[in-house]
Amino acid sequence: MLRIYRLPLRLITQGKWLRITHSAKAILPVLGVHADDDGICWPGMKIIRYLSGCVRPETARAGIRSLVEMDLIEKVRQGRRNVYYLKPPAITEGKSYYPMSEEFVLTGWTSLSYVEKAVFAVLAVKATIESRDDPDFPEGFAEDEEWFGAGEIQKKKWQRLAGISHRSCDKAIKGLIEKGQIVLREENRYIVCR
Q: In this predicted model, what pLDDT tens digit does every residue of 10-30 receive, in sequence order?
A: 999 889 999 999 999 999 999
The length of the chain, given as a count of residues:
194
Q: Is the pLDDT of residue 144 over 60?
A: no
Give the Cα separation of 147 and 156 in Å (integer).
25
pLDDT of residue 33: 95
**Over pLDDT 70: what percentage of the chain?**
89
Closest by alpha carbon to 102, among 39, 34, 42?
A: 34
Q: In this predicted model, what pLDDT tens digit does every residue of 157-166 receive, in sequence order?
A: 888 999 999 8
Phi, psi (degrees; rounded to nearest 5) at 49 = -65, -45
Which element (helix H / strand E) includes 17? helix 16-19
Q: Which domains does the chain have, with CATH numbers?
A: 4-86 (1.10.10.10), 111-193 (1.10.10.10)
| The overall pTM is greater than 0.85 | yes
State the average pLDDT over residues 26-42: 95
- SS3 category, 148: strand
Sheet holding 40-41, edge to edge: 40-41, 81-86, 73-78
